[in-house]
Structure 1
């Protein structure tokens, strides 16, 4: 319960940080707005033609009697849209971070400088194009993992009662985990922490991750909310990354108000994670 509260406090602190830094907040909205337009177009297209897709995919049901044919295909259409929405929530952050890499890098660096005792921020030393390639590669790895979970949860959704109650709850926790991985990657990549090590750090403190990511996943179901929360989510994830890596936080605007800050599971030494 302690780590859940701490994780949520990072989310709140991130939103407070961007509220105090209006310029960073305004610039951070641009990538989210671009991604929102793209995703809304895709979801609207699925809403309009999803039933046709289900009909094409289930020719074996053409001869079923009414009302079973309508109920079956209607259920599949709803599940298909729900799965698409889940994947949209999971991948929204990855796509937005990829589009807004330069914006969010700058925001994350500003948070680091603000809370670091010596006023400095780690730098990767890589060119922008190299960072974009690494970010895109790592995002694809995470999206594939998230998609595998999505397919599993989609299949479990057919189980009566459990599929309509337990599975959606699990889905939000899974989504929250992957959202947190994507958001912390902005700060982690500047520290040259590889995706495998990032996942290891996050798995070691799942309750901390869920406290941060699960409320965010619930909020991200509403597209406009996702856009406005993204800058603060990046800021909060930077604070969480410092905690996970055991970095000391000073008394800047982003001062951590939670207990246990800076007592993460690892730290960066020489470009890699050690425990």
Structure 2
């Protein structure tokens, strides 16, 4: 039986958007936000340049008919769709790789703001630098978890009739992955293993899916997704604090 509260889960992202505006948390939002903005601009520029070359190559192969030469707008429309899909998942993965040390500290400060208690005696920018190797390793762990399951869903999408449910499975899986992605930050601060985190979220699956669904949807909206990432970190920290833990958490 699924446990948790889907609608309560939906509210955590909204709470996260409120938290990133708090004076004590803004600094740890601004730095990764600037890094993500630079990443956003670089990726869009690179894809636009590459796609422009691709369009020019394709158009050169086509007969010199005016109506064919006029359909390059269609290719740019397809480019826009590709950008949308890329930023839904690829951008979020890369942004998390770049900002993971900052997001761990943002989660720590958010927990302190919400509970009034210190998560760790260590802190500050020196600690952020020290945490870079562990944070990057944790992100790689999540990518390794994601890839084989995503490939399985791709295969399911190729099977006639069965592929009718592929879209629903994709949405559910990506909502689950977004919960894992962001609740992992407070879990890591408490030295909770990734396996133990999955058990904890599985025990509150409805709440986890409720939290992850709006994150996954807003991740597809360019520019908005720049702000979704830190808001999701703060919302996930509220999730960690308020959702009951019915499992026995093992620590790394």
TM-score normalized with structure 2 length: 0.72
Cα distance change, pair 265–50 in 1 and its aligned pair in 2 (3 A)? farther
Aligned to 2:119: 122
Aligned to 2:171: 172
More helix by share: 2
Cα deviation 1:72-105 (Å, max 9, x = unaligned): xxxxxx9xx87x9767634533432331234323
Q: Identify which of structures 1 and 2 has the higher relative contact order when contacts are C-alpha pairs closer than 8 Å and 6+ apart.
A: 2
Q: Distance in 1 between matches of 2:150 and 2:50?
A: 17
SS, match of residue 192 in structure 1: coil
Match of 1:17 among 16, 19, 43: 19
Cα deviation 1:115-152 (Å, max 9, x = unaligned): 11xx2231285954552222222211211221112212
The answer on 1:33 being equivalent to 2:37 is yes
Aligned to 2:9: 7
Aligned to 1:140: 140
Cα distance change, pair 35–162 in 1 and its aligned pair in 2 (3 A)? farther
Q: Distance in 1 between matches of 2:205 and 2:217?
A: 17
Q: Aligned pair count?
A: 221
RMSD of the alignment, in Å?
3.3
Cα distance change, pair 37–101 in 1 and its aligned pair in 2 (3 A)? same
8 Å contact 2:84–2:222 — kept in the other structure? no
How far is 1:28 from its partner?
4.5
Q: Distance in 1 between matches of 2:217 and 2:22?
A: 24
Q: Distance in 1 between matches of 2:52 and 2:144?
A: 26
Q: How do residues 167-206 of structure 1 correspond to structure 2 at under 5 angstroms?
A: 167-206=166-205
TM-score normalized with structure 1 length: 0.67
Cα deviation 1:222-251 (Å, max 9, x = unaligned): 232211212211100111122xxxxxxxxx
Where structure 1 has 5 or more consecutive residues not aligned to the other structure, the ranges are 52-77, 243-260
SS, match of residue 19 in structure 1: coil
Q: Distance in 2 between matches of 1:97 and 1:124?
A: 24
Q: Distance in 1 between matches of 2:117 and 2:46?
A: 41
Aligned to 2:64: none
How far is 1:204 from its partner?
2.0
Where structure 2 has 5 or more consecutive residues not aligned to the other structure, the ranges are 56-77
How far is 1:210 from its partner?
0.7
